[in-house]
Structure 1
Amino acid sequence: MARIQVELRVEMEDGTTYDVVADQRDVARWEIQDFGCPFSDIDSRPMLALRWLAWSVLTRRGEITMTWPEFDAVCLEAGDPGDGDGQGGEVTIGVDAEDPGTPAPSGRTSSRSRGAQGSR
């Protein structure tokens, strides 16, 4: 199963800031919204997606109780937290340890035949 993490810094109108990490739960909630889209198409609505993901994390964690329209009205910015170098934060998409993926070839065959006997 893919692991998705989106690091965000949220700045509110009153000067409050939050550093949050959206994960697969928030992305799944985004995808089922009327205005949402598949995560692979998130570039088509990047600002809306970042703001909504930030709101989703903050409400899920109980840090705010605002509705989406209330949050959207007072959120100045939601974006990459960065580290002051102008490079911004990062979106991490990985694979959980429980899913080892496709094993590497071993060099051995899976056939149990001994060659000549099966060719008669």
Structure 2
Amino acid sequence: MTIQLKSPIIDVVVEQPDGTLVQLEVQTDNRDVVRWDLTRGRRQWPQAIDAPFLWSTFLAWAAMTRAGDTTDTFEDFEAHCLQAQVKKIDDTAPADPTRPAPASGS
């Protein structure tokens, strides 16, 4: 049985120290979203819906840190992350705060 996570897949582009760009597809999961919730509260960051790029960048960093793909602090990662955009999300999962609400009467 194949399990498909409903958490966001984020398309990430990171600038390397030599100036080259690396593109990655990062699968986030619940651990990354919980880390966002805890960090956002401690740092008094805005809600995801009010800071969608901060949210997607943080989720990508959290997933990459968890997987061992980066050892950067969030601040260092954010400074070199040129793109962190939600690429794919299951329609039934309300994880992307930038998604438009359904039209009235739908």
Asked if these proteins are the same fold (TM beyond 0.5), I'd say yes
The one of 28, 32, 35 equivalent to 2:34 is 28
One-letter identity of the residue aligned with 2:93: I
TM-score by length of structure 1 reads 0.61
TM-score by length of structure 2 reads 0.68
One-letter identity of the residue aligned with 1:69: E
Relative to its length, the structure with more helix (as a share) is: 2
Structure 1 residues 71, 64: closer, same or farther in 2, change over 3 A?
same
Show structure 1 runs of 5+ residues with no match: 82-88, 95-120
Partner of 1:8: 10
Check conservation: 1:4, 1:24, Cα contact below 8 A: no
One-letter identity of the residue aligned with 2:57: R
Give the 5 Å matches for 1:28-107.
Answer: 28-33=34-39, 34-36=43-45, 41-81=47-87, 89-91=88-90, 93=93
Structure 1 residues 46, 5: closer, same or farther in 2, change over 3 A?
same
Structure 1 residues 43, 70: closer, same or farther in 2, change over 3 A?
same
Q: Percent identity?
A: 30
CA distance in structure 2 between the partners assigned to 1:35 and 1:59 by the alignment: 22
**Count of matched residue pairs:** 82
Show structure 2 runs of 5+ residues with no match: 95-106
